[in-house]
Amino acid sequence: MSNGGGVTDETIAGFVKLFRGGRIALDHKEFRPWLTPDGGFYTANGTEFEIKAADHLKTGPSIGVYPLFSEDEQLKVYWGCVDWDEGLKESYTHATNVYQVLKQLEIQSWVERSRSKGFHLWVFFTQSMSAKIVREGLIGACEIVQAPTKEVNPKQVELSERGWGNGVRLPYGELRQRGGYNEMDRPEATFSIVPVKSFVEEAIKGRITPECWEPVRALYKPPKPFKPTTTSNTSKGPLTGMSEAIRRNGPRPTEMLPKGDRSATLFSLACAMVRQRYPQQDIFDELKSADKEWGGKYDSRLDGDTQLWRIVSGAEKVAWNNEEIYQRSYRQKTESESKTETH
């Protein structure tokens, strides 16, 4: 039976099977979890997902999915997605390069031109997969061809008690930009758009088994821990002054960022602690504790500790550069005043 716009019931059913996951995101004005009338969350599995996926494909509103869900006390996913937003040409190069890496390993992947003028690369699995295993495999494939790995989904392998991770907009939304945006392309023929019916049929047949993913995961090389430039075993004790204020107040929520800018606040905290002469290990420990308390942006990442050490290192450079500028300015002012007094 055919629905409006040429989308069939079979296409909708296949689409739902491919993009199963955790919570459904409403992609209207802002990207956020879609709340039920009683204050709960719609999940990307079951009848409600079929209804909302059908609307997504035929009339709108557009939706996204948060891939992570809990199963057997583990975080699982049915799909993975890498997002590049480096500009149209560069992003397409990254996407097609990773596509070719996976193709060499007999893995089917899909390239989508996103509405941000970047590209997504998708992989789909026959069964629920460990989020960690999927993420590691995609990072490994990207690193083979030096493609950025900043936006590899799933972005988390652990979640706080009330967290749901990062979501991704689904392709083929009826309200998408025209001209090939949010539709799958065939990399063998540049910008050759794949109709949704063909995509769903081929993607269902080409889903990846856990055994087939193992060679991809084997590409992954754990990041080398970032080492601080100096170390100190002397703790300065509890936070005081500006450091204590930043830590106590935390990120300030805004309309665009309901949880506040956690990265910027962590950096501000690190800069304040550097200026107050806290040792590096104290700063790192405080950032790690604050990150967990503020939602765990880095806590669940495989390279979380490395990223926190980079914040410490960056804060030292900024804080000491500012200190040097201040000291130089102070010396110049003092010298100028001294000359004025002697004339």
- Most confident among 183-192, 304-313, 314-323 (mean pLDDT): 304-313
pLDDT at 232 over 70: no
pLDDT at 327: 45
Q: Are residues 12 and 148 in the same domain?
A: yes
pLDDT at 286: 94
Task: Give the total number of structural domains in the chain.
Answer: 2
Of 80 and 311, more confident: 80
CB neighbours of 133 closer than 8 A, spacing ≥ 6?
A: 210, 213, 217
pLDDT digits 0-9 by tens, 30-61: 888 999 999 899 999 999 999 999 999 999 89
pLDDT at 225: 60
Q: Are residues 193 and 290 in the same domain?
A: no
pLDDT at 211: 97
pLDDT at 144 over 60: yes
Q: Are residues 212 and 247 in the same domain?
A: no
First to last CA, the chain: 97
Per the structure, the complete domain to which residue 15 belongs is given by 4-217
pLDDT at 340 over 60: no
Q: Tell me the DSSP string of 14-46.
A: HHHHHT--SBEEEEESEEEEPBPTTS-B-BSSS
Tell me how far apart the 2 most distant CA atoms of the chain are, in Å: 97
Taking residues 154-172, what's their average pLDDT? Answer: 85
pLDDT at 207: 98
Q: Are residues 135 and 252 in the same domain?
A: no
pLDDT at 226 over 90: no
Is residue 230 a part of any domain in this protein? no
Q: Are residues 112 and 209 in the same domain?
A: yes
Is residue 229 a part of any domain in this protein? no
Q: Where are the alpha helices (DSSP H) in the chain?
A: 9-18, 47-58, 88-104, 131-144, 196-205, 210-217, 241-249, 262-275, 280-293, 304-342
pLDDT at 17: 97
Is residue 233 a part of any domain in this protein? no
Is residue 227 a part of any domain in this protein? no
Give the confidence band of 313 by pLDDT, cuts at 50, 70, 90.
confident
pLDDT at 73 over 60: yes
pLDDT at 301 over 80: no
Alpha carbons 269 and 48: distance in angstroms, whole number: 43
pLDDT at 125 over 60: yes
Mean pLDDT, all residues of the chain? 85
pLDDT at 115 over 80: no
End residue of a domain, out of 217, 250, 275: 217
Strand 63-65's sheet: what is its strand order? 30-33, 24-28, 63-65, 168-169
Of 29 and 78, more confident: 78
pLDDT at 302: 75
pLDDT at 86: 86
Q: Are residues 314 and 190 in the same domain?
A: no
Give the confidence band of 263 by pLDDT, cuts at 50, 70, 90.
confident
Taking residues 99-109, what's their average pLDDT? Answer: 96
pLDDT at 188: 76
Q: Are residues 185 and 264 in the same domain?
A: no
Alpha carbons 123 and 19: distance in angstroms, whole number: 10
Q: Are residues 195 and 260 in the same domain?
A: no
Backbone angles phi, psi at 112, to 5 degrees: -120, 135
Taking residues 283-308, what's their average pLDDT? Answer: 87
Taking residues 123-140, what's their average pLDDT? Answer: 97
Is residue 31 a part of any domain in this protein? yes
Give the predicted TM-score (pTM) of the model: 0.69
Is residue 152 a part of any domain in this protein? yes
Is residue 114 a part of any domain in this protein? yes
Residue 33: which CATH number? 3.90.920
Q: Which of 29-33, 48-52, 151-155, 336-340 has the lowest mean pLDDT?
A: 336-340
Q: How many residues does the chain have?
A: 343
Q: Are residues 106 and 186 in the same domain?
A: yes
Is residue 223 a part of any domain in this protein? no
pLDDT at 191: 61
Taking residues 69-85, what's their average pLDDT? Answer: 94
